[in-house]
């Protein structure tokens, strides 16, 4: 297998895409940034080649993938509907390795389909595996858990710096594996520098695994002025309510499902189910060399919360 040097990142302008590009450039990969419009890529690093991609066009995809060793699917999950065309174009162009559109919770967990929200990713994975079996393209799925430092300032994490509260869903004892958002770059570099170690499998990367109750204590210990408090919310009814909203959104043709209340409710339920039914705690599966100490985690929290 030849060394991977040339990588195209699809969804280059996104939250994940930008960080993956920076990390790949730092690791001396030759990087091409792919997205819908060249104009939207003007703020990306000048060292990255930019190319516009029409995901629905096999020709456009094949042209973008020409001479690339690897493709990273860092786009919004809406684009996963084009997985069949993307995989076929990658095979036609002779791409060796594909990093799948994951970077999220454990989409390889046996019960995760129940949550509904990962359907585009699951469908994309089934298509990829069936094409890979026939044509031999290699792949890796990167699972990171929630990006805590990215989510806290957006008020979509369960930590509220202004009220000094941690929202505690259920008992608060469920452990959740999570990462700082730059993990997407660290993990992509690790995979592409040593693809044989990650061949055709899911790879788990997390900085830290912690429960909500432990977060209350950790934040209180870090805060010299005030104790943090739990804001307790029962989880009962979450799954049912989330499913109802999801079905209604399907009927209404909601496009931006990632930011819908249904997604939030079902995603939250998936993280805090008391029996780890959806694999939110994947600490035992984390790749060697990844994971940080409590002190390092506190430093990252400090930057995300108290800056």
Residues at the interface with ligand NAP (CB under 6 A): 11, 13-17, 35-36, 40, 74-79, 101, 103-104, 144, 146-147, 151
47 vs 133 by CB, closer to ligand NAP = 47
Q: How far is the CB of 225 from ligand NAP (least distance, A)?
A: 29
C-alpha distances out from residue 210 to 158, 180, 281, Å: 12, 13, 9
77 vs 185 by CB, closer to ligand NAP = 77
264 vs 276 by CB, closer to ligand NAP = 264
52 vs 231 by CB, closer to ligand NAP = 52
With CB atoms as reference, the residue minimizing the distance to ligand NAP is 14
Helices (H), the chain: 15-26, 58-65, 83-93, 119-135, 148-151, 183-193, 212-222, 238-252, 261-272, 294-306
Interhelix angle for 238-252 vs 261-272, to 10°? 150
CA gap 297, 173 in Å, rounded = 18
Tokens 């805060």 correspond to what residue? 223
Q: How far is the CB of 227 from ligand NAP (least distance, A)?
A: 28
Q: How far is the CB of 205 from ligand NAP (least distance, A)?
A: 11
165: left (phi over 0), alpha (psi -120 to 50) or beta: beta
Q: How far is the CB of 224 from ligand NAP (least distance, A)?
A: 29
Tokens 């570099």 correspond to what residue? 189
Read off the tokens for 46.
């000048």
Q: Tell me which residue of 248, 244, 239, 247 sits closest to 266, measured CA to CA.
A: 239
Q: How far is the CB of 306 from ligand NAP (least distance, A)?
A: 21
Beta-carbon contacts of 273 under 8 Å, excluding residues fewer than 6 positions away, are 170, 174, 235, 280
17 vs 161 by CB, closer to ligand NAP = 17
Q: How far is the CB of 182 from ligand NAP (least distance, A)?
A: 12
Q: How far is the CB of 40 from ligand NAP (least distance, A)?
A: 4
44 vs 95 by CB, closer to ligand NAP = 44
CA gap 107, 264 in Å, rounded = 16
Task: Please answer whether residues 222 and 301 qualify as being in contact, where contact means their C-beta atoms are separated by less than 8 angstroms.
Answer: yes
Q: How far is the CB of 2 from ligand NAP (least distance, A)?
A: 28
C-alpha distances out from residue 89 to 57, 92, 94, Å: 9, 5, 9
18 vs 138 by CB, closer to ligand NAP = 18
Q: How many CB atoms lie within 10 A of CB 67?
A: 11
C-alpha distances out from residue 4 to 27, 30, 172, 215, 270, Å: 12, 9, 43, 40, 35
182 vs 223 by CB, closer to ligand NAP = 182
């Amino acid at each position: 297998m030849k060394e991977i040097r040339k990588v195209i990142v699809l969804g280059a302008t996104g939250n994940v895409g930008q960080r993956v590009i920076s990390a790949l450039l730092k690791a001396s990969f030759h990087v091409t940034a792919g997205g819908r419009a060249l104009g939207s890529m003007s703020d990306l690093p000048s060292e990255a080649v930019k190319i516009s991609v029409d995901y629905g066009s096999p020709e456009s995809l094949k042209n973008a993938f020409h001479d690339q060793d690897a493709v990273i699917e860092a786009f919004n999950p809406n684009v996963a509907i084009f997985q069949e065309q993307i995989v076929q174009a990658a095979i036609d162009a002779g791409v060796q390795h594909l990093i799948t559109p994951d970077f999220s919770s454990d989409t390889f967990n046996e019960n995760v389909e129940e949550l509904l929200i990962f359907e585009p990713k699951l469908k994309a994975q089934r298509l990829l595996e069936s094409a890979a079996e026939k044509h031999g393209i290699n792949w890796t799925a990167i699972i990171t858990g929630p990006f805590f430092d990215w989510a806290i300032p957006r008020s979509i994490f369960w930590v509220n710096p202004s009220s000094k509260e941690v929202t505690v869903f259920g008992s608060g004892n469920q452990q959740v594996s999570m990462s700082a958002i730059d993990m997407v770059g660290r993990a992509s570099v690790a995979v592409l520098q040593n693809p044989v170690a990650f061949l055709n499998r899911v790879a788990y990367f997390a900085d830290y695994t912690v429960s909500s109750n432990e977060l209350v204590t950790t934040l209180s210990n870090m805060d010299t002025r005030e104790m943090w408090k739990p804001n307790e919310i029962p989880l009962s009814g979450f799954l049912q309510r989330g499913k109802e909203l999801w079905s209604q959104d399907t009927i209404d043709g909601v496009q931006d499902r990632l930011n819908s209340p249904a997604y939030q409710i079902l995603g939250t339920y998936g993280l805090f189910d008391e029996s780890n039914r959806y694999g939110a705690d994947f600490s035992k599966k984390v790749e060697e060399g990844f994971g940080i100490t409590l002190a390092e985690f506190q430093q990252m929290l400090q930057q995300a919360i108290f800056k």
